[in-house]
Structures are given as structure tokens and as C-alpha cells.
Amino acid sequence: MKKLFGVSALVFGMALGLAGCDKFDKLTASTPTFQNTDVTGLQYARDFALFDHTGKERTLADFKGKVVLVFFGFTQCPDVCPSTMAELSGVLKELGPLADQVQVLFITLDPERDTRELLAQYVPAFDKRFLGLYGDAAATARVAKEFKVFYAKVPGKEAGSYSVDHTAGSYVFDKNGMVRLFVRHGQGAAPIVHDLRALLN
């Protein structure tokens, strides 16, 4: 699968562009030093309206009081998605008791195949605390647009088969529901653990 990391530079540039705003100055006055891309004050990636794999309607407000990590992918992804989910499982193990204050959300970019039932099997297999989120094609497109996540079907070798190229990265929100970080794929667990500890403490 193509790994698309350009969005990290984009969101970083947006964060820098907001440096003159009073709101941004207040937010960053006490910001710890992060190892991932600090996007505090970003004016997109603000919310979503989807269903979780238990059938419950969800928005970001449902997780207020927790640090939330949002990753976009699809269950039939052969590499980036399972490796990211496994990495995030390891992150929660490293956090120990603090992990109870973290919520990992997997948002599918393949609503055609990723049913509630399939997400209910796939997502908790990495960690029972993880939640899979889904919507119809229109809801998926709206959320992807809000988060500036690229995704596109790529035809497979067999008739009717396909894969999905997509942005390989995650967003992190603080306990107040404010987007704070963009985590690039493939950095390993240590920088994520470091940054989540900073937000939790």
C-alpha cells in the first residue's frame, strides 16, 4: 500500500500559520515538548458523527475526559493498518494504568465492506478497548474531508476486487477534545508513548 505522509507537513504548516492568534498563544503557552507533529490550534479535524461497532452513535464529545487517538484505515489492509493497530496496542501496554484514560478509534475508509460485524471482530482483536467507527459512503466522505484524509479505491487483480490507498497517520486529541498532534506512520511506539504521557500528565 502506498504510504501517504504529505498531510503531516500540511497540518504542521497550518499550526504554524495560526501562531499569531491569541487563542493559539494561550493553548501553546504551557504545551509540553512533543516528539510528534504539534498541531494545536488546527482549524479542521474537529469532530465526526459515526457509529461504533456496537451500533452506538458517536461524536468526539463522547470521549471527553480521555486522550483520543484517531486512525483511518480498512480491515482488509495488508500492512499499514494492522501494523499501526498492533503498535497502538503496544502503546497502551506501555502506558500501564494510564491507558484507561486513552481511547483509540479506528475509522473505516471502506464502508462498502467494513460492516459493523466485521469491525466488531477486527478492531477489538488488537485491544478490547479499541473502538471501530463506520458510516455510510456519504458520512465517510464527510469525515475524511473534515480530517483532510485522502483515500481512493485501487482496483485489484481479480474482477471486483480492490484495495484502498489512504493517508497513513493518526490524530491525537487532548482530554478537552482539542486536536493536538499528528502522528506519522512508522515512527515506532516510543514517541507516541512519550507524547500521550505528556498529555495525560
Helix, strand, coil distribution of the chain in percent, nearest 5:
40, 25, 35
Crossing angle of the two packed helices 80-95 and 189-200, in degrees rounded to 10: 50
What nine digits make up the cell of 71? 486512525
DSSP 102: E
Residue 48 CA to residue 46 CA, distance in Å, equals 7
Determine if residue 81 is labeled as part of a ligand binding site.
yes
User: For residue 73, what are the β-bridge partners?
Assistant: 108
Determine if residue 166 is labeled as part of a ligand binding site.
yes
**Which residues lie closer than 8 Å to 145 by C-beta, 6 or more apart?**
none
List the binding residues for Cu cation.
Answer: 77, 81, 166
List the binding residues.
Answer: 77, 81, 166
